A and B are shown apart, each in its own frame.
Chain A
Amino acid sequence: MVDVSNHTLVPDHNLLEEGELEEVLEEYNIQKTDLPKIKRTDPALTKEAEVGDVVKIVRDSRTTDEAVVYRLVVE
């Protein structure tokens, strides 16, 4: 099977540590469930990702070099 996470067009998906998650939630003043979602079965995710985890996605941006997005793993 092809591992899509190695594809150039798929940005890095990294699991967030507990402490980091707190920081993110505090920064935006939100609950975990207010984050955008991603399916656990999404091929871009690592095997370790479990429902309830939060991934940090770092994308390339034409304007800001890097655009950071967080997603909650669901289902």
Chain B
Amino acid sequence: MSQQAPQEIGQLSFGLMDPEEYREMSATKIITADTYDDDGFPIDMGLMDPRLGVIDPGLECKTCGKHSGSCNGHFGHIELAAPVIHVGFAKLIRRLLRGTCRECAKLCLTEDEKREFIDNLDRTRALGQDLNDVTKSAIRQARKKDRCPHCSEPQYDIQHEKPTTYYEVQQVLSSEYSDMIAEAMEPGEDSERVTPTELAEETGIDAGRIQEILSGEFRPREEDRKAIESALDVDLTEEDMNKLMPSDIRDWFEAIPDEDIEVLGINSDRSRPEWMILTVLPVPPVTARPSITLDNGQRSEDDLTHKLVDIIRINQRFMENREAGAPQLIIEDLWELLQYHVTTFMDNEISGTPPARHRSGRPLKTLSQRLKGKEGRFRGSLSGKRVNFSARTVISPDPTLSLNEVGVPDRVAKEMTQTMNVNERNLDEARRYVSNGPEAHPGANYVRRADGRRLKVTEKNCEELAEKVEPGWEVSRHLIDGDIVIFNRQPSLHRMSIMAHEVVVMPYKTFRLNTVVCPPYNADFDGDEMNMHALQNEEARAEARVLMRVQEQMLSPRFGENILGAIQDHVTATYLLTNENPHFNETQALDLLRATSIDELPDADGTEDGAEYWTGRTVFSELLPEDLNLEFMSSAGDNVLIENGELVEGTIDEDAVGAFGGEVVDTIAKQYSRTRGRIFINEVSSVAVRTIMHFGFSISIDDESIPPAAQAQVDEAIEEANERVEELIDTYEAGELESLPGRTIDETLEMKIMQTLGQARDSAGDIAEDSFDDDNPAVVMAESGARGSMLNLTQMAGCVGQQAVRGERINRGYENRTLSHFEENDLSADAHGFVEHSYREGLNPKEFFFHAMGGREGLVDTAVRTSKSGYLQRRLINALSELETQYDGTVRDTSDTVVQFEFGEDGTSPVEVSSSEDEAAVDVEEIADRVMESEFADENEKDEFLGETREPTNLSEHADDWWLAQSDD
């Protein structure tokens, strides 16, 4: 049938819809607000008329004859008793009212102006820019005209009262005109009294008329009014708001000529402005607003149906009242009510209009609410939707898993299934799953017989069903260890936010991850949840395993280095293991390596007290590839040298094995393989965990306390700084402060104070730092790059320092002071947020308050930044989503326009090429050396090959000339 055949969309056109078209496509006119009769059958010409489509299975559509599911439904229509404004076009209606003549309805622009705007429109359209800019300026120009350039009718201002009321603002004769004239005739400060006769003479109005005007018996006409106004220098007018009814507007718009609306960018073939005023309302098919039968048998109608009921009721009342000749006031009230219902039918979230509510008080979800926003049709149902075979739960850490694995709760594994195609070879296996039933773990939930019938596996039928399973069947078995699944944490900001993991089924309710995959997901375990998707066909599983597995995503395309690696305590541990190169006895060394693949210790580094010992660096070297050579600077500041897989010297820390570009991890992943990289990271983290358990690592308040002597020094440094600030303030107040170039005196003072206090904080920090040992845990963490910095430490032990809002000392609060605890215009350090205590000492109340101010700014900044950058990224992704790298290396868009002639203009992979500026992007020489080395067994063979010139063989005699020329030099 034709509906099954694929169809191609030839063209889409957007425009207004002709009311005639509504009537033509309508399956029925709707005249009654009732939906079902007493027997539960839909009422003809009611809102549930069977001609509008079917929702109940088994019934036949009265319009197309099809059944529910294949009938898409058919529109009906309501004939509105009076025209109403379409809210969606309120702004365009206002523009047209302002730009066209109230008398002849032509656009208030001269022919030349019109032509100019049409040209401008064509140009803008060709450039693909916003047409609105042109049409807006056309309206602005038309609105400037006081009189119509075509019929010279004076034009009035149009006021728009949101959402759908329009007024014409006219200047009319004030009702108190006689009093106003009389008052103006009285003698003023610099004017004589004006007699009626004088007024008559000056204005040329009959003296008797003047008398009548003064007594209020006669309203002067416009010319007379103007004459009196100019004679007496008064304004006799007042503003009159003349409401434009939708019917008036419709008549007005009908008269706008086609060529005039073209100037406003409206295609007159498709859209006429009067169609923005509705006379017919299309009624959506019942399939778009299905009614639900509740458990108690009661029918519950869709919000749209409720709204349509309101519209029909008011529509009927309107017609009845009009026929009965009801007073204009009542008609207008009903008209407004009809407008309200039609407006909220389309959009129920208009500011200034109370939303239409359900009986329960919940605002109704009408047309626009169905489409708009995150949960709307576009973002909620079309671009993204809920899927089957997915699970979501809290995550927690498990350092015993490989980074490629994910711990899946057994209850998830039993819900999520993989389809097994049964054949001779896996028949026994398949039967075993089925016989386990749906409750026992490696079981099955469904089977599909060869004839396509799907059967549910239950506790009761599983044994029986297992017998019947045979080749050709499909078994939906539980997830088991080793299955590949996709794992994701929102927000999915880069491709490593979605990676494939191998399943390890586990007890309890959380997903378990190795902590080294936290950086790519940006996950922590303070309640984070993640999603898992079970893959449903072989292609997907193969693709996930080859391209998406965690180890394949080890290198980040963002900066071209590893994103997986040691974090936090791992880094602390490798530092402890290698920095001072401690000694371990055999038991200890074996214990460190016991979770790795190394089961034999190398030769001991020496003997101590009669027992052999191994150094930390030797233990670490066991994890390195045999032939690795590397030299770099560590984060702790020493030189790390690795020769033939042996760590000769240096500290292994953040810069060596850390996530985000740890040198050793990066090199292994690039020079060996991702698999070798994965093994290395797993083993480093295992060794690190054992190491930190061996040494023990904890931190306490005492670790941040400094000796009294040091504290006295810190206090002295701060006291000194305070004195220097006082001196600066004195010089400033004496007017002796010299301003820095390009700065005012005040700015100079501020800068100098900030500088002085900054130095004070630094020297307090230095003093504090000197009193810490190298084995202080905070120092170890800062040195190794595991967590925190020296600044954090000095703030804890020395002095917190200046608090800032907007990069300045704190200046806000009361008039001329920050808090009422200070005198006005106090410029001193403590009055503007200098915190001289350390976190360990504790802050005093004033300091605490300033600290909260600075802290709050930071919080607000991050909140604003994330929302801003999120939206920016959304737009960027949408703009670039259709660009694709072609097989010829070019990057093109969907219309085949070249965007880049070579991917990234260099054709290099952002994963393999580090984007850090300090080294060459591609070290060709180094790569060449490595390749050469791996090609030859030893140096001799290589030299032989490089020095060798092979005699050309089988050369024809015709090439003798060439041969001679070659051997000449």
Contact = CB atoms under 8 A, between A and B. Distances in A.
A67 to B, nearest CB: 4
Contacts of B897: 33-36
Contacts of A62: 906, 921
B901 A63 contact: no
Contacts of B906: 61-64, 67
A47 B888 CA distance: 34
Contacts of A36: 897-899
A69 B896 contact: no
Contact of B921 (A28, A63, A69): A63
Nearest to B897: A34
A68 B908 CA distance: 15
B898 A67 contact: no
Classify the secondary structure of A's interface with B.
mixed
A70 B896 contact: no
Interface string A27-51: 0111001111000000000000000
B482 interface: no
A29 B892 CA distance: 12
B907 interface: yes
Interface string B877-904: 0000000000010101001111111100
A69 B905 CA distance: 8
Given A28-B890, A69-B905, A63 B913 contact: yes
B927 interface: no
Contacts of A35: 897-898
B922 interface: yes
Contacts of B901: 28, 68-70
Given A28-B888, A28-B890, A63 B908 contact: yes
Contacts of A28: 888, 890, 898, 901
A75 to B, nearest CB: 9
Contacts of B900: 69
B905 A61 contact: yes
A33 B888 CA distance: 18
Contact of A30 (B896, B905, B907): B896
B601 to A, nearest CB: 44
Contacts of A64: 905-908
A30 B898 contact: yes
A67 B922 CA distance: 15
A30 B525 CA distance: 53
A25 B900 CA distance: 14
Contacts of A61: 905-906
Interface residues of B, number: 18
A38 to B, nearest CB: 13
Contacts of A34: 892, 895-898
Nearest to B886: A28
A72 B344 CA distance: 51
A59 to B, nearest CB: 7
A58 to B, nearest CB: 11
Nearest to A34: B897
Nearest to B896: A34
Given A34-B897, A36-B897, A67 B902 contact: yes
B347 to A, nearest CB: 41
A36 B905 CA distance: 13
Contacts of A63: 906, 908, 913, 921-922
A49 B496 CA distance: 46
Nearest to A61: B906
B899 A67 contact: no
Interface string B924-955: 00000000000000000000000000000000
Contacts of B913: 63
Given A30-B898, A34-B896, A36-B898, A67 B890 contact: no
B40 to A, nearest CB: 63
Contacts of A69: 900-901, 905
A34 B896 CA distance: 7
B274 to A, nearest CB: 39
A63 B888 CA distance: 19
Contacts of A29: 888
In the complex, which of the residues A33, A36, A63, A70 has the most CB atoms of chain B within 10 Å of its own CB atom? A63
B143 to A, nearest CB: 32
A53 B680 CA distance: 56
Contacts of B890: 28
Contacts of B896: 30, 34
B906 to A, nearest CB: 4
Nearest to A70: B901
Contacts of B905: 59, 61, 64, 67, 69
B351 to A, nearest CB: 42
A5 to B, nearest CB: 20
A34 B908 CA distance: 23
Nearest to A35: B898
A35 B897 CA distance: 6
A25 B849 CA distance: 68
Interface string B665-678: 00000000000000
Interface in A15-31: 28-30
A55 to B, nearest CB: 13
Nearest to A67: B905
Contacts of B921: 62-63
B925 to A, nearest CB: 15
A63 B562 CA distance: 20
Contacts of A33: 897
A73 to B, nearest CB: 15
Nearest to A62: B921
A46 B621 CA distance: 61
Nearest to B892: A34
A30 B892 CA distance: 11
B918 to A, nearest CB: 12
A59 B904 CA distance: 12
A63 B895 CA distance: 29
Would you list the 10 A-B pairs with minimal beta carbon distance, nearest first? Answer: A67-B905, A63-B906, A64-B906, A63-B921, A34-B897, A62-B921, A63-B908, A61-B906, A34-B896, A34-B898
Given A30-B896, A34-B895, A63-B906, 16 more contacts: A28-B890, A30-B898, A33-B897, A34-B892, A34-B897, A36-B898, A36-B899, A61-B905, A61-B906, A62-B921, A63-B922, A64-B905, A67-B905, A69-B900, A69-B901, A70-B901
19 contacts: A28-B890, A28-B898, A29-B888, A30-B896, A34-B892, A34-B897, A35-B897, A35-B898, A36-B898, A36-B899, A59-B905, A62-B921, A63-B908, A63-B921, A63-B922, A64-B906, A64-B907, A69-B901, A69-B905
